Amino acid sequence: MKKIMILATGGTIAGMHSKKSLHYDAGVLGIEVLLKELAGIEKIAKISSKQLFNINSKDMSFEKMYEIAKESSEALKEFDGVVITHGSDSLEESAFFLHLLISSKKPIVFTASMRAFNALSSDALKNLYNAIIVAASKRSENKGVLIALNDKIFSALHSSKIHSTNVNAFSSPCELGYIQNQECFFYENFYASKAIFDIKKLTKFEKVSCLMSCVDDENEILAEFLFQNGVKGLVVAGFGSGSMSENLKKKLKTLMKKGLVVMVSSRVFNARISLNDQDIRAGFLSSRTLNPQKARIFLSLALSLAKNKNEFQDFIKRLDD
């Protein structure tokens, strides 16, 4: 029987409604409370658990994501898979963070819920149960970091939260598979790229911020302010396939000559960024298919770990591997 470690971090899956309100508090219950309610899980896997912290995922940080990554790496030395319970709001960022840092044949599976533990028709226990099934399955090996929600399986590389309350809250251009009758199935053979970064070398996080392109915005002012206050990189969530106002582009070209690194993404859900030759020569970087929040994580890690320009460029090229 497979041995699975559950690392709990809080979120709605550990949340509770009060009797007098429709609102709920996230990150209230310990993981042991959820596990007591998972009848029959002992037939799926031998479970161990650890409560890393118990927070609303809006309060997630790079330091906490790093702790999750380190604990997962250590657990994979002893266990056959890892399940991470997490709030849905920032789950895609934490999952992508681990996807970039951990190379392992063994599955790492994130899960969450959209309804609190004691809510009517809560999805908390079902999602946790399914995540354990995915983590304990041989079919899940060599697929990078996975997300199991609402009977579906996603890759951390491509999935995003697209609805604020619906149980079908996550989507992806390339959904990987599904869970049915206590088994997981994948639509096709899928092999995620190996981790781009080495977790053992990570000692800091360079400051990277995002700018959202809007009509008649004043992002050029914000870009100058952020650069003057220690931000090393900027991700621009551009229009369409990454376009931005001429005022912002002019300002960014000036700041890039002073050392700012700029990566172009899009505010559109499904977009691939292809820069023209002029923008490439100016120094703009393409996020490829990464959305702004994932591009920010990637750029921060690349800036934090690159010893020189050549190594930084190698990290960028590996986005296409």
List the catalytic residues.
Answer: 12
Q: Which residue has the tokens 């790496």?
A: 73
Cβ-proximal residues to 76 (8 Å cutoff; 6+ apart), any chain: 82, 102, 104, 106, 108
13-43: b or e for each residue (b if 16 or more CB lie within 10 Å)? Answer: bbbbbeeeeeebebbbbebeebbeeeeebee
CB count in 10 Å sphere of residue 178: 17
Are 237 and 265 in contact by the 8 Å Cβ rule? The answer is yes
CA nearest 86: which of 16, 17, 12, 153?
Answer: 12
Ramachandran angles phi, psi of 76, nearest 5°: -70, -15
C-alpha radius of gyration, the chain, whole number: 20
Strand partners, 8: 51, 85
Q: Compute the distance between CA of residue 227 and CA of residue 216 in angstroms, rounded to an integer.
A: 21
DSSP state letters, 134-155: HHT-GGGTTS-EEEEETTEEEE
CB count in 10 Å sphere of residue 218: 11
Q: Compute the distance between CA of residue 12 and CA of residue 24 in angstroms, rounded to an integer.
A: 8
Q: How far is CA 29 from CA 9, 82, 109, 149, 204, in A?
A: 10, 20, 20, 20, 31
